[in-house]
Amino acid sequence: MYPFNLTDTQIAAFHEDGYLMVRGLFDAEESDLLLKIGRADARLDKDKLSRLDAQGGVTRLALRNELGDDIYSAVTRSRRIVDTMERLLGGEVYHYHHKLNMKEPFVGGAWEWHQDYGYWYNNGCLFPDMASCMIAVDKATRENGCLQVIRGSQRMGRIEHGLTGEQTGADMERVNEALKRLELIHCEMAPGDTLFFHANLLHRSDQNRSAEPRWALISCYNAASNNPYKVHHHPCYSPLEKGDDTDVKAVGYRQWIEVQDQVKTVELA
């Protein structure tokens, strides 16, 4: 769906609720390319990291601080996301990082309750002028561990975080009190649906107990005015070169050919 024109009503909803769901922001052709390339991408498979939840379940992700010439970067640069982010955050943004979150059938672990700014705060970002967008690669349902958010919880400000399993989790005393007063939302999504959410929004997801995978691409942004005061593992400000929305398919088809050639090379070796 491009060009995507954000309305004043949607901006107001984002600031009130802490998130904004846009259905079908990426069409079926784009979603299919993301899915096919992600599943077949040997480099992505090599870059996978694992994180244990509190029950010992394993969630895998591949994280990159740099943008490249691939479909993940084309999505992250696309005007329908970056222009939307700039209106939601009130000014210029830059690419903070992006990651592919991979919950495999039956074994995909949970993500504990947290705020992204709960730990981005420690990277030298003075203000929570940061947000992410999650693009569903697979269908996300309650059964396969879709994202859950506490509507309006970003208005609580940053709360304390500590280790939960191998993850950084929020203070559960505060989370449980928030759940008594605020609405819990299960963000069920079709491929191509996109969720924009504020860095202080409390969110989590269950383990994947189903036979269906749940993959999602998450692109994260920081306000240019919120440049970190110290060097950390995520980048400081540099201008983000926006890409045309049509680049997603153009780059995707080129990468799909390259990925198929890589698979053929491996099979012949």
CATH 2.60.120.620 fits 8-224+233-268, yes or no: yes
CB atoms within 10 A of CB 255: 22
Is a pLDDT exceeding 80 seen at residue 117? yes
- Can you tell me the distance from the alpha carbon of 37 to that of 256, in angstroms, rounded to the nearest whole number? 6
- For the chain, give the percent of residues with pLDDT over 70: 95
Neighbouring residues of 187: CB distance < 8 A, sequence distance ≥ 6? 19, 21, 134, 140, 146, 147, 148, 149, 195
Is a pLDDT exceeding 60 seen at residue 266? no
* Average pLDDT score, the chain: 92
pLDDT of residue 268: 45
Summarize the confidence of residues 206-220 as an average pLDDT: 95
Stated pTM of the model: 0.94
pLDDT of residue 1: 67
